[in-house]
């Protein structure tokens, strides 16, 4: 994968560029991103693709330019879930004790609509939304805050947070590690990144479509019937 393959992305959204910036501190940087994106008020980071690339690098066959990264699979499978769990727990505490006042409609990162989406996602699915949210960008950051603000029982949140963190933090690196063994996969990294991104945001798109359809149906039901 060349350095220009994701040139349209900001540096902090390009997983390869981000790993390169971390240099010899790549593992620490990776864990910091996971921790922050798991509930610490910065909802736009490349969590899914970053874990996938880390798994490929751990396989030792990735052709990315992140040459200074020296990941081992056991490190990823142990430390990523721990960082994800801790980030989610911090997000819950923030929502529980600080609330959601820091979210503004015109904010650059902490947009009110992001929190509204996470809250709706949470309300429709109950506690299991904490697990599902792990695989949805933005929502995975804000779901713990929404859970805390909604006063979800701490033990319930913790249980689902642990399940989601393990499923996400183990599953994606393992996927990258397994696929990284194949040379054809390395040549198709950019389409794979796009596929991961589309798959990640598809739940939000589906929810948006459902709400739009329901809103149209409600308007049609309440509209007065034409008189003859």
Please write the tens of the pLDDT for every residue from 19-57: 888 888 889 989 999 999 898 776 566 678 889 888 888
pLDDT at 4: 42
Report how far residue 214's alpha carbon sits from residue 220's, in angstroms, rounded to the nearest whole number. Answer: 10
List the domain range (segments joined by +) for residue 69.
11-222
pLDDT at 24: 83
Q: Is residue 5 part of a domain?
A: no
Q: Is residue 83 part of a domain?
A: yes
- Among the listed residues 107, 129, 130, the one whose alpha carbon sits nearest the alpha carbon of residue 44: 107
Q: What is the pTM of this model?
A: 0.73
8 A C-beta contact, residue 120 and residue 150: no
Question: Does 142 score more than 70 pLDDT?
Answer: yes
Question: Does 93 score more than 80 pLDDT?
Answer: yes
8 A C-beta contact, residue 145 and residue 131: no
Report how far residue 2's alpha carbon sits from residue 143's, in angstroms, rounded to the nearest whole number. Answer: 35
Cα-based distances in Å from 201 to 31, 70, 96, 195: 22, 30, 26, 10
Q: Is residue 31 part of a domain?
A: yes
Q: Is residue 227 part of a domain?
A: no
Q: Is residue 197 part of a domain?
A: yes
Q: Is residue 205 part of a domain?
A: yes
């Amino acid at each position: 994968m060349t350095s220009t393959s994701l040139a349209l992305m900001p540096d902090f959204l390009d997983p390869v560029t981000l790993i390169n910036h971390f240099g010899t501190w790549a593992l620490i940087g990776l864990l910091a991103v996971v921790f922050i994106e798991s509930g610490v008020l910065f909802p736009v980071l490349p969590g899914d693709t970053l874990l996938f690339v880390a798994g490929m690098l751990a396989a030792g066959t990735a052709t990315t330019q992140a040459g200074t990264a020296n990941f081992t699979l056991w490190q990823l499978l142990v430390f990523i879930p721990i960082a994800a769990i801790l980030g989610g727990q911090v997000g819950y505490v923030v929502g529980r004790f600080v609330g959601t006042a820091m979210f503004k409609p015109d904010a650059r990162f902490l947009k009110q609509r992001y929190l509204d989406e996470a809250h709706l996602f949470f309300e429709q699915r109950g506690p299991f939304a904490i697990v599902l949210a792990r695989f949805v960008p933005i929502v995975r950051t804000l779901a713990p805050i929404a859970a805390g603000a909604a006063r979800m029982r701490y033990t319930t949140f913790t249980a689902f947070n642990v399940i989601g963190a393990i499923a996400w933090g183990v599953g994606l690196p393992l996927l990258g590690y397994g696929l990284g063994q194949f040379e054809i996969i390395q040549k198709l990294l950019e389409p794979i990144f796009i596929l991961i991104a589309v798959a990640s945001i598809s739940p939000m798109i589906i929810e948006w479509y459902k709400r739009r359809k329901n809103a149209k149906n409600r308007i049609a039901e309440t509209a007065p019937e034409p008189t003859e």
